[in-house]
Amino acid sequence: RSNRAPHAEIMVIGYLPIVSPVDKGCKDLPLDSEQIAATARVYSSLDIAIQRAASKANVTYVTGGAEWFKHTVCSPEPWMHGMRTGVPYHPNDAGNTAIAEEIVNAIPDRLKGKN
């Protein structure tokens, strides 16, 4: 927050997970079980670091939490492009929509014009 925008609401948005620790891989995720586990660990560490940084900065951390893990690359309804579709490992339209919904839900009522 700054003197120029003392009432600003700063939000840090989490990343959609590419994999969950229980994923087995698929054609759009050409990784073996060790690579999937390592990727899940890196994601978890990154997510924790972002949460801590947001907390330390006293800003809002926005994430879909466990819901996002239902939509990894190999899930029946992925929110991420896989290796062979779109921009690899970036959100697809459904993923972008989910992220946008989380952001809108995190906006405080005072900024939405609600009392």
Q: Are strands 60-62 and 11-13 parallel, antiparallel or unpaired?
A: parallel
Q: What is the pLDDT of residue 5?
A: 81
Q: What is the pLDDT of residue 21?
A: 83
Give the whole-angstrom CA distance, residue 79 versus residue 76: 10
**Mean pLDDT for the chain?**
89
Q: How confident is the model at residue 1 (pLDDT cuts 50, 70, 90)?
A: low
Cβ contacts of 94 within 8 Å, gap of 6 or more: 71, 77, 78, 79
How wide is the angle at C-alpha 9 spanned by C-alphas 71 and 50, nearest 5°? Answer: 45
Report the percentage of the chain scoring pLDDT > 70. Answer: 97
For 63-89, write each residue's pLDDT tens digit: 988 899 999 999 999 999 998 888 889
pTM for the model stands at 0.83
Closest CA to 60 of 115, 110, 94: 110
Give the whole-angstrom CA distance, residue 80 versus residue 15: 10
Give the whole-angstrom CA distance, residue 24 versus residue 33: 7
